[in-house]
Amino acid sequence: MDKDIAEPDPSFERIGIEDRLYGEFSDSLNTKVRYSVSLTECALTIQKISSSSDRNKVVFNLTDCVGCRAYKVEDETDVGAFFTAYFYPFKRRWMSSGMARQRVEQCFRVALVQDPLVNLQEAERWARAIRDASILQKPRRDGVVYSQLRRACRVMLLVNPQSGRGQALRYFYGHIEPMLTEALVPYTLVITEHQNHARDLVRETDLSQWDALVILSGDGLLFEVVNGLLEREDWEEAIQTPLGILPGGSGNALAASVHHYTQSPPVWGEELLLSCGFLLVKGLVSRLDLVSIHLASSRRIFSFLSLAWGFVADVDIESEKYRHVGAMRFLVGTLVRLASLRVYQGRLAYLPIKDGLLPNQGPRDHATPSTPKQGPKSSPNQNCCHSSNSTQNTAPNSSNNAITTMTAGPRPANQKGPPDSLLPDLEQPLPEHWMAVEEEGFVLVLAMFQSHLAEDLLAAPGAAADDGFIHLFYVRAGISRPALLRLFLAMEKGAHLAIGCPHLVYEKVRAFRLEPRSSEGAITVDGEVVEYGPVQGQVHGGIARLISG
């Protein structure tokens, strides 16, 4: 479903890189004020004609432009026409520090001649040239070219009116609808009415009608959409439908991750909404990893965000009652939960990433900065797992790493979606090359698939949407309450790995298995509670597609 970039206006192409489109127009509200306006491939430059000072020159980068339209006003006596360009540049916040995208509109009156039609044609020529220039350059990341939604793509926009503080519809009408109109993106609004509404809808819908499925809600609604797509007969094609996320919940972890991947300064709340809306109308699409999660009941679900057990899962569940404070609910929940800190018993095992090495060989890929300093005593106890009856073969994967895989993974009956080649059945022993973590107990286990756990929790700073890794963290029993609090406070800036906490361990893995022994506890997947018991998962690198930037 790769859509190529729209064809640019040929008249603009003739201008060439060095040339400019130049014109003189009046202010839309005051015809006595006139501007010289010039357009290059990269920028729209506006200067007041009376002024010789450069201070009155404003330069807009066209990468910040979402659209431009030409029009005529109702007044029959006015021969003039207008064009308005819409920009969302990063600007310093009013009355506070930092930068965030803010909406700026530039409108000009075209009255070159007395013929209204000629003026309108000239306004349309400018609007088209600005639109085309704003989509000409395809960004690159590490040599990978993003694909792009076709212009005028058809978007199904699903809004959960109950999500977060119940503001999702206000966000839509206040910010997103105007932006979609400015960018000429046609959409159909679907207001979800109950749980699983979105899941049922995407499972049944004719996907050929849609170029993108966009969610304005918390992460829970996207979880439904992803799983609905993977329950279809045509799941392989269905999961290629580009997915978009707009933050409307109280966690908004994927939205925060998408913003983080643009390497822009961090933003929250409606500023994050504006940033994600901007990325949506720009329509760049990257790959998205999904992790298939096997539950004790043989049910398999697909996750794009996280799996949590212990402290993080408990905070997630218990902080539901503080959702009226928005993203702050996790901080409030953390403080409350710290008072009744628990240790959880269980077994954790994982399949490590070993570049160019067979598992069990070479140095451990231990990312905890403190670990080498602490010596073997404070290293987690890790052993290889032993398998009696697993069938294995060793095959190089696409990045030439020797990864031992299972020949045939478990595939629950009637289950769609990709097979899990790295996982044995949940009741079966793990292959020998898996690493087993032997600990006295855990305070938390957290498997992250994106960078953010919530808008203000940068749990896996090095993660990317399609890195093909599960970022596995665990905190061993024995950590003090102040040390755990310090970890979570540092996580706001993604600095928790750098503070030298000997109880925190971080591994990049491809698969994991968790077998809780404590009878009480909770496991959450993408923030939703799932059945408690043994659970395992493996990453499927880049099988979905995400509108990002």
Ligand X SMILES: Nc1ncnc2c1ncn2[C@@H]1O[C@H](COP(=O)(O)OP(=O)(O)OP(=O)(O)O)[C@@H](O)[C@H]1O
Kindly list the catalytic residues.
219
Residue 368, C-beta contacts closer than 8 angstroms, at least 6 positions apart = 497, 501, 504, 505, 506
Q: Of 24, 105, 193, 204, which one interacts with ligand X (CB under 6 A)?
A: 193
**Residue whose entry in the numeric block shows the structure tokens 């107990």:** 441
> Which residue type sits at 171?
Y
Assess 137 for contact with ligand X (CB under 6 A): no
Assess 167 for contact with ligand X (CB under 6 A): no
Helix (H, G, I), strand (E, B) or coil at 85: strand
Q: Of 67, 249, 380, 549, which one interacts with ligand X (CB under 6 A)?
A: 249
The nearer residue to ligand X, 125 or 203, going by C-beta atoms, is 203
Counting beta carbons within 10 angstroms of the beta carbon of residue 394, is it exposed (0 to 12), middle (13 to 18) or buried (19 or more)?
Answer: exposed
Which of the stretches 40-48, 104-112, 158-166, 346-354 binds ligand X when contact is defined by CB under 6 A? Answer: 158-166
Q: Of 8, 89, 161, 419, which one interacts with ligand X (CB under 6 A)?
A: 161
Q: Of 134, 147, 148, 160, which one interacts with ligand X (CB under 6 A)?
A: 160
Assess 269 for contact with ligand X (CB under 6 A): no
Rounded to the nearest 10 degrees, the angle between the axes of helix 329-339 and helix 311-318 is 120
Query: How many other C-beta atoms lie within 10 A of the C-beta of residue 522?
Result: 18
Is residue 288 within 8 A of residue 546, CB to CB? The reply is: yes
Closest CA to 438 of 385, 478, 381: 381
Residue 147, C-beta contacts closer than 8 angstroms, at least 6 positions apart = 2, 3, 284, 285
Per-residue contact track with ligand X, 373 to 412, x per CB under 6 A? ----------------------------------------
Assess 244 for contact with ligand X (CB under 6 A): no
Q: Interface residues for ligand X in 526-545 (CB under 6 A)?
A: 527
Q: Interface residues for ligand X in 208-227 (CB under 6 A)?
A: 217-221, 224
Assess 164 for contact with ligand X (CB under 6 A): yes
Helix (H, G, I), strand (E, B) or coil at 388: coil
Helix (H, G, I), strand (E, B) or coil at 274: helix
Q: What is the dihedral of CA 481, 482, 484, 490, to 10 degrees?
A: 160
Assess 524 for contact with ligand X (CB under 6 A): no
Which of the stretches 31-39, 70-78, 189-197, 471-479 binds ligand X when contact is defined by CB under 6 A? Answer: 189-197
Q: Of 148, 240, 252, 451, which one interacts with ligand X (CB under 6 A)?
A: 252
Assess 323 for contact with ligand X (CB under 6 A): yes
How many residues of this chain interact with ligand X, rule: CB under 6 A?
23
Q: Of 26, 162, 345, 518, which one interacts with ligand X (CB under 6 A)?
A: 162
The nearer residue to ligand X, 331 or 385, going by C-beta atoms, is 331
Query: How many other C-beta atoms lie within 10 A of the C-beta of residue 373?
Result: 10
Name the site residues for ligand X (rule: CB under 6 A).
160-164, 192-197, 217-221, 224, 249-252, 323, 527
